[in-house]
Amino acid sequence: MNLPNKLTLFRVILIPFFVFFVLAPWFEGYGKFIAVAIFIVASLTDMLDGKIARKYNLVTDFGKFMDPLADKLLVSSALICLVELKCLAAWIVIIIIAREFAISGFRLVAADNGIVIAASYWGKFKTTFQMLMIIALIIEKQLVEINLVCLPLHYVGVALTYVALILTIVSLIDYFAKNINVLKEQK
């Protein structure tokens, strides 16, 4: 197994640790800070695995399949935790996760037709803002728990949430608009 694939698997392995620390009530003073650190490390592996794979010609079918799945698992787990922590409205998470299912299904249909749908810039911006939103909301929750209310961070979290939501919808429209021929060929 090559290094990019190991990084992808490492990201998946980090998810239960992230969930544990973000939700565990007995780590109220610092657990969410540990969770944020884990989330940042996992997010960095997302950037690194692709760059290494492309730079050193280590792209594999496993990596093509597992990398986006690992991303979806990481972000979806974090979003569900944020709903549990009452930091994020469930309807926002439903829209974001529904978009991920729609794009994944769309990619499967395309793959069935021998077409590879590459990640778009809108999708990359969306992922970046989702990850920043998750980090900001978890840090804010931790600060509130230790009685350090940080109003500017709250507004940053809210702004990032709506930017991420808008980018989620825009990237969905972009994927379908650029690849509508895949659906037409399916008829």
**Is residue 2 classed exposed, middle or buried when 0-12, 13-18 and 19+ CB atoms within 10 A define those classes?**
middle
| Nearest of 185, 178, 7 to residue 103 by alpha carbon | 178
What pLDDT is attached to residue 174?
Answer: 93
Mean pLDDT of the chain: 91
What pLDDT is attached to residue 185?
Answer: 67
Is the CB of residue 115 less than 8 Å from the CB of residue 178?
Answer: no
CA dist., res. 66 & res. 152, Å (int): 37
The SS3 call for residue 58 is coil
Question: What would the pLDDT profile of 119-147 be if each residue is shown by its tens digit?
Answer: 788 988 999 999 999 999 999 999 988 88
Q: Mean per-residue pLDDT for 165-186?
A: 87
Q: Mean per-residue pLDDT for 101-106?
A: 89
> Is residue 25 over pLDDT 90?
no
Most confident of 18-32, 74-88, 99-113, 116-130: 74-88
DSSP label at residue 64: H
Prediction pTM value: 0.91
Is the CB of residue 126 less than 8 Å from the CB of residue 164?
Answer: yes
> Is residue 151 over pLDDT 80?
no
Is the CB of residue 85 less than 8 Å from the CB of residue 141?
Answer: yes
Higher-scoring residue by pLDDT: 32, 176 = 32
How would residue 29 be classed by pLDDT, with cut points 50, 70 and 90?
Answer: confident
> Is residue 186 over pLDDT 70?
no
What pLDDT is attached to residue 128?
Answer: 93
Q: Mean per-residue pLDDT for 59-79?
A: 91
Number of domains in the chain: 1
What pLDDT is attached to residue 164?
Answer: 97
| 29: amino acid identity, one letter | G
Q: What's the domain range around 85?
A: 3-186
> Is residue 187 over pLDDT 60?
no
What's the CATH code of the domain at 166?
Answer: 1.20.120.1760
Read off the tokens for 118: 């590459």
CA dist., res. 95 & res. 102, Å (int): 10
Is the CB of residue 14 less than 8 Å from the CB of residue 72?
Answer: no
